[in-house]
A and B are shown apart, each in its own frame.
Chain A
Amino acid sequence: MNFFARLYYRYRRIIKAVSLFLIISGPGIIVMIADNDAGGITTYAATGAKYGYNLIWLIVLLVPVCYYVQEMTVRLGAVTKRGHAEAIFEGFGSFWGWFSLADLMVVNWLTMVTEFIGMAAALKIFGVSPYITVIGICVIMGIMVLNGSYWTWEKITLLFCAMNLIYIPGAFMVHPSVTDIVYQGIVPNFPGGLNNDLFFFLMANIGTTIAPWMLFFQQSSVVDKSLKEKDIPWGRVDTYVGSFLTGVVAIFIIIVTGTVLKGINIEDAAQASVMLMKINKYVGTFMAIGLFDAGFLGAICISLASSWAFGEVFGWAHSLNYKIKEAPWFYGLYFLLLITAGIVVLIPKAPLVLITLFVQVVAVTLLPAALVFLILLLNNKKTMGEYTNTLSQNIINVAIVVAIIIISSIYGVSTMFPNVLK
């Protein structure tokens, strides 16, 4: 084979691999980017504003954490062809199944409310009334699912994921010092010592890394996409690309607020957007658009995670490949969650701050259970066969799960009792 023939052969192989990746990718990228939801954006913006670039190293460390946890859902979904809720029912019986399903419903609904709070706050900056925001979102999200094709839904959602990268040009526009980012951000350090404030921020960042809905969403998404065992390697690449992108977005948000708003205590990302607008109109606008997009992505994934979970357990038709007439319960629950969560934001004097805090507490009751079940299911040789966790995977995953359980529990308890850490 001459040189050009070999070059052509290699080119064809690369094109084939990229095409295959583009077909299989989706669940991992979507779930990871949606992980940077409205609450996540606020956490990163507040972290940058409070500590500058000093906590970037933590985000870098959290990238593999995201990957290792979510990769397990890919294997479990591709091998068992069951979503996480159904897998828990089948693996551990109806007690744990109902507990997980009910808890997931409560956590997801509350999280949906926080996504609507973020979206409404973001569009309010541009003068859009919350009523129009809520109605508009429900209509757009309805159109996205009602075409009866998982593929179309996924590609539209991936476009919204691409919009999440808006923070990157925003960061370049504030002209951060690369030297400062490298020296202050990459080497692990605890600015001002490991005090209560810093500990709270560390926990908040770790707490936003893995949310219960992510496990349910990605596994159900893998099943709905009909991924098979042979697709697992590409599913892993998809998950890795997603976790890398989520880290990149988080770092660029920290760079934006760390450069412009350092030393300022901010309460939410909308407030940061308004402050940024006074300094640089475009950067502030990008921050607001990003916040809206983050809330939108979060709302899409969370409402679907709930509908999938209920559909699996109750035996309803539960796929985005069905038309509304073929899966009325699945779409009915999707819209019920969406509309009721939107309405809460419109209620005058609704306890939105209390709801935001309550989400963190309730999530703590579900996350440890979902993670423990995930590890146990991945060790069930009877169903997982050759895809059972290896010893090294178990060591890494158990260490990650134990750390997440401890940290998220302390975070949840400190939200309930703010004086505990003082």
Chain B
Amino acid sequence: MIKNFFKHNYAKIREINKKYAHPNVEMSKGVKISLLFLRLYLIFLVCLLFYKFITLVQ
């Protein structure tokens, strides 16, 4: 039953990935810059969280 659950959802996730493989929003320069900013911002935050975790463990 559990195996079936994961199998079904794995297939569903693949289907979703396929369905939304191509972004609908036109990738203009502004959109590309915004998405790049978001990626950098999130990488910065993840680094901060990682640093906090390391200092907490120490």
Contacts and interface: CB of A to CB of B under 8 A. Distances in A.
Contacts of A56: none
Contact of B34 (A90, A94, A376): A376
A9 B33 CA distance: 54
Interface residues of B, number: 21
B17 A369 contact: no
Interface of A: 89-94, 96-97, 99, 313-315, 361, 364-365, 368-369, 372, 375-377, 380, 382-383, 409, 412-413, 416-417
Contacts of B6: none
A382 B28 CA distance: 13
A369 to B, nearest CB: 5
Interface string B24-35: 111000010011
B47 to A, nearest CB: 12
A417 B49 CA distance: 10
B33 to A, nearest CB: 11
Nearest to A101: B16
A380 B24 CA distance: 9
Please report whether the interface of chain A is mostly helix, strand, loop or mixed according to DSSP: helix
A368 B38 contact: yes
Given A369-B38, A376-B34, A90 B48 contact: no
Contact of A93 (B23, B26, B41, B45): B23
Nearest to B18: A94
Contact of B12 (A314, A364, A375): A314
Contact of B48 (A91, A96, A313, A413): A413
B49 A372 contact: no
B32 to A, nearest CB: 11
A309 B26 CA distance: 23
A96 B16 CA distance: 13
20 contacts: A89-B16, A90-B20, A91-B23, A91-B24, A91-B25, A93-B20, A93-B23, A94-B21, A96-B35, A97-B16, A97-B20, A315-B12, A361-B49, A368-B38, A368-B41, A375-B34, A376-B25, A380-B25, A382-B26, A417-B52
Given A361-B49, A369-B42, A416-B48, A93 B34 contact: no
A372 B34 contact: yes
B28 to A, nearest CB: 9
A89 B37 CA distance: 18
Nearest to B23: A93
Given A372-B38, A376-B25, A380-B26, A416 B52 contact: yes
A364 B41 CA distance: 10
A92 B48 contact: no
A399 to B, nearest CB: 15
Contacts of B3: none
Contacts of A89: 16, 20
B7 interface: no
Nearest to A361: B49
A377 B25 contact: yes
A324 to B, nearest CB: 19
Contacts of A377: 25
A377 B24 CA distance: 10
B37 to A, nearest CB: 8
Contacts of B23: 90-93
Nearest to A314: B12
